[in-house]
Amino acid sequence: MRKYMIVLAFLVLSTGFVPSAQAEGLVPSNVISYCEGLGEMANRIMTARQGGATIGYLLESVGKMEKKFDMPQHLRKKLDSIALSSFEEPMFQTQSYKERVINDFSNNVEFHCIKKLIK
């Protein structure tokens, strides 16, 4: 389970994905980057979910990231929501189904983010 937290932390550090508290006011040129970052986080969260991570573990990992990286509160809420949403999908046994649900989930998060921010 610890490796999932490390993967989530690595993603935050490697992509520089810690947007400002004014994320809802992003100019259109930044919307795609912001939403791609959320999509990547959703991918990592669903990967952990499909690997057997519990909801408690995922929420705890997001909380640890919030403290370690001084994550804005709005981002913490979004990541908590993504973690909770990952449990609306079943945990699959075969790798091909796992990959499909991971990709579908992250694409859906990215799509809805872009749709919301470009209104």
Q: Output the tens digit of pLDDT for each of the chain's 119 residues.
A: 455 444 455 444 444 444 443 445 544 668 889 999 999 999 999 999 999 999 999 999 999 999 998 989 999 999 999 999 999 999 999 999 999 999 999 999 999 999 898 87
Say which residues have a Cβ less than 8 Å from residue 39's Cβ, sequence separation at least 6: 106, 107, 109, 110, 113
The reported pLDDT for the residue numbered 7 is 46
What does the alpha-carbon distance between residue 11 and residue 28 come to, in Å, rounded to a whole number?
Answer: 23
The reported pLDDT for the residue numbered 3 is 52
Q: Per this entry, what is the length of the chain?
A: 119
Q: What is the pTM of this model?
A: 0.76
